[in-house]
Every structure is written in C-alpha cells, then in structure tokens.
Chain A
Amino acid sequence: MSSTMRAAVAAVVLACTAPIVLAQGSTEKGIEQYRQALKEGNPAELWEARGEDLWKRKRGPKNVSLEQCDLGQGPGVVRGAYAHLPRYFADTDKVQDAESRLVTCMVTLQGFKEEDAKKNPFSAPGRHSDMEALTSYVAAESKGMKLNAPLAHPKEREAFELGDYLFHRRAGPHDYSCSTCHAESGKRIRLQELPALTDPGEAQKVFTTWPAYRVSQGSVRTMQHRLYDCYWQMRHPQLDFASDTATALMVYMAKFANGGEVHAPALKR
C-alpha cells in the first residue's frame, strides 16, 4: 500500500468516526477522494493475501494446511467455490456458507475445537480476524464468475423456505423484519440507500459484493457480519456466528442474487 493511499485510509477512517450529523457531507467527499486514491487497489487485497497465506500455512493441533478443504467443488478446489455457496454438504448433512464451511475444515482437517474456530469471526481495532482474511481469499477466487448458489437439494430448498420465513418475521420492540428495510426499491434510512434484496436486479448487484472492505469500519467485513449488524439495528440480540439462521437468510437472498457477477471483496461505505 502506497503512502498516499495509507494517508487516504487514515483520513477516511477519521472522517467516518466523527459525529454522524457532521460527517454526512464530508464522508461522501472522503469516500470520493478515497476511491481516487484506490486506483492502485482495494485495501481488501491485504486481507486476500493474508487469507491465502493462512490457507496454505500448516496450523492447528494437527499442523496441516487448509489446502485439502472441500468448499463444494472437491478437496482443494478454491477457484469458483464461492460462486456456488451456500450449498448442501453431505459430510455435515447441512447447508453451509463459506464461513461455516471454513469452520468445518478448521475442525476436521486442522483439529481446532469448534469453539476456537468460531472464536474471532470479526476483527476489532488491534485484533485481526483470520476468518475475515480466509473468506476474502476464498471469495476473491470467484471474482468475475456468476453467482450460482444451488437450490436443487431438498435441504437447500428447505433453507430457502426457512429464510423466506425469517426475512419477513417481525419482532422486537421496533417490530422490524428484514423486509421493513429491504423489500422496496429506492428507500433510505437517513442517507443510506436500502437495497431491495428480493429484487433480482438489486440483489445481483449487492449480495455479490460481500465480503467487502468497509471504509466506515476500516476493515473487511463478511456477510456474517452484515447480518449480525442488521440484527443489531433491528434491536435483536447478537446473532451467533455461522448459525443456521444466518445460512438460511443467505440462501434466501442468494436465490434472488443468482446470476449476478461476484465482485467480492468489494469496497463499501
């Protein structure tokens, strides 16, 4: 990363932590400058590189790499795997997204305890997340491919139906469901545009951008984090990382997003 770019990152991160009312206008401007500075690349590339290294490095109690991990296209095949997720896996008899599948591989191949593999899914200032890096690497290996999450297996169809139910389920002190904010085109919360995730045109554009480097957070964030964050806004409790709820919602959204080109890891507000 060049020093101009580093300066731009710092500037934007600062602008985005300023009080919201003040920051609205300057944030937009900051992002524009930032986009300019990024001609040389998205900071997410650092996550991709670290993820590739983690993938190949011998780690865990068994001291083996993830290179034999089966992400759905056979052991060791990373290329194109992300474009076909979430999907059903026979060995776990579950529908899994990239992140829950990475947990499976860390447990079965590398010998990590499940709770250790799930311990640090989202980075915080001064604390990297291996999961964010690995997911960035895996997603980048599908860049430019069309999303084609399968819905043929009965468990995949079941996950879709459950996701459909959850997407429209209102609850909590504010009565919110996902569809409160994501069912209609052209709506905003404050100035943030809300994609209609059940509109194929819109879903194809946005669902395929995750994981993404989020300027406002100074980090790559994954789809698991996006859902955790939206449940936070909905005044729901913390959503468990790699829960079946998250997977079902992803399968539901992927159905509308299928056919869109994978742009992940993208760069976002």
Chain B
Amino acid sequence: MKTTMLAVAGLTIMAGCAATTQLTENERQTRAEAMLKAGFSKGNKAMAERVVQQDETQALCSKYPESVPEAIASRIQESQQATIRYPASGNLMGDWRQGEKIAQDGWGMRFTDMGSPNRPMGGNCYACHQLAPDELSYGTLGPSLYQFGKARGYTDEVRRYVYGKVYNAKATNACSNMPRFGHNGILTEQQIKDVVALLMDPASPVNR
C-alpha cells in the first residue's frame, strides 16, 4: 500500500506542476502510439498488429492506471461478461491432473513460441498464484488459490465463477491484472475445464 500511496502522491505532484506536462492527452497518445508502432518494425506482422491495436478494455484500463472510475468499470465488466462462453454440455469440470500441467506451463504466444497446432498453450497460473502446496516456486501477483474449493465450497455457483474468471477475468474485475484466457484464445474450453478441476475437485492437491 505504501508504494501505491507514494505513486499517487507522485502523480499528484506531477499533475500540479504545469512545467512537467507539456503534451495534451491527445498529443501524448498520438505520438506514443506512433512511436510504439515504429518500434516493432522487424517483428512478426500479425503479432505487431495485435499489440498496436488495443481493444476497448485495454485502452480504458491503460488510461486509468491507478483506478478506473466506477461507471467505466461496470461498463467494462458488462461487455466482458457477455464474451464468456460456457460449455454447451453444462459440465465445467475436467481433469485436475491435466489442469496442474496447464498451470505449470507458460508456453505460447511469445515471438519464440508463437503457437503450433500440435502444442497447446499454457496457462502459467503458478507465475502469479500459489496452488498445490508441493510447488514452492509460485508468484504473488495474484492471491493464493491453495484450498480454493475447500474454502469456497464445491458448488455449481463457485465452479461457474472459476470458469468465468479464467475465461475472462475482466468480467468480475474490470482492470484485473489476470489475462483473459478464454476470450483471448490462450486456453481451449477443455483446458479451462481442467484448471477448474484443479481448483474445484476435492481430490486435487490444491484442496488437500
């Protein structure tokens, strides 16, 4: 919290000091966008297109890095909620063993591992979350998910929440730092079901 406060104080000071802001918001955006585009001149074209072109959620969340105004947040959440495709079968649970592999795996979508029809991409959940207690190499950008199902209850409602969170984290938290795995085509429906099982199967190590 201390740093957030410091950062907020910093921004306030900058904003109050006319000499430090010389570009209008529009100029700043136009110039920065042109500069960024020019800076990816040699990379993969399709990849460049994807990052040069922000979607509305990305653009709005970038505009309010500290905290997004409530009205905008609810607008984002509504539009993102509408993107979630739940499995037609209604069954949200896959195999937690597969889920564990997906949670460990960070492969995919970098310029060195752009994707392959024969190799599914990873979810890399351990980059940001504690999950199974045996894995000590976990990150802390997101909350610990250890004992998630046990603590929240093994109910349909919670399973649906987890499926939705992984499919599109911005549906319940407009500017979440968590990627939108389903919406952006990182994980398939089956893979999402597998990580739901990792969190929600009573037999999963996460709940033991």
Q: Which residues of A contact B (CB under 8 A)?
A: 20-21, 24, 151, 154, 157-158, 160-162, 165-166, 168-177, 179-181, 183-192, 194, 196, 198-200, 232-233, 235-240, 243-246, 248
Q: Given A160-B20, A174-B109, A244-B39, decide whether A185 and B32 contact each other with a Cβ distance below 8 A.
A: no
Query: A171 — which chain B residues lie within 8 A by C-beta?
Result: 50-54, 58, 62
Residue among B23, B39, B51, B140 making CB contact with A188, cutoff 8 Å: B140
Total interface residues on B, CB under 8 Å, equals 57
Known A170-B54, A176-B179, A243-B35; 18 more pairs at CB < 8 Å: A157-B20, A162-B32, A173-B186, A186-B140, A187-B139, A190-B138, A191-B137, A196-B3, A235-B109, A235-B110, A237-B48, A237-B51, A238-B111, A239-B40, A240-B39, A243-B38, A243-B39, A245-B39
Residue among B28, B50, B126 making CB contact with A172, cutoff 8 Å: B50
Q: Given A240-B41, A244-B35, A245-B39, decide whether A189 and B127 contact each other with a Cβ distance below 8 A.
A: yes
Is there an interface contact between B40 and A237, defined as CB atoms closer than 8 Å?
Answer: yes
- B73-117 near A? 1/0 per residue, CB < 8 Å: 000000000000000000000000000000010000111100000
Q: Tell me the smallest distance from the CB of A30 to a CB of chain B, in Å.
A: 15
Query: B31 — which chain A residues lie within 8 A by C-beta?
Result: 158, 162
Q: Tell me the smallest distance from the CB of A203 to a CB of chain B, in Å.
A: 11
Q: Given A187-B141, A189-B141, decide whether A173 and B184 contact each other with a Cβ distance below 8 A.
A: yes
> How far apart sit A172 and B62, CA to CA, in the bound complex (Å)?
12
Residue of A nearest to B52 (CB): A171
Is there an interface contact between A21 and B2, defined as CB atoms closer than 8 Å?
Answer: no
Q: Would you give 10 A-B contacts (Cβ < 8 Å), ordered by A? A: A165-B28, A165-B32, A181-B141, A184-B4, A185-B3, A187-B139, A235-B109, A236-B47, A237-B51, A237-B111
Residue among B19, B51, B104, B180 making CB contact with A21, cutoff 8 Å: B104
Is there an interface contact between B65 and A183, defined as CB atoms closer than 8 Å?
Answer: yes
Residue among B2, B65, B104 making CB contact with A179, cutoff 8 Å: B65
B10 sits at the interface (CB 8 A): yes
Q: Given A199-B3, A235-B109, A248-B35, decide whether A158 and B22 contact each other with a Cβ distance below 8 A.
A: yes
Is there an interface contact between B36 and A169, defined as CB atoms closer than 8 Å?
Answer: yes
Residue of A158, A172, A198, A236 contacting most chain B CB atoms (<10 Å): A236
B43 sits at the interface (CB 8 A): yes
Q: Tell me the smallest distance from the CB of B101 to a CB of chain A, in Å.
A: 12
Is there an interface contact between B111 and A190, defined as CB atoms closer than 8 Å?
Answer: no
> How far apart sit A172 and B21, CA to CA, in the bound complex (Å)?
28
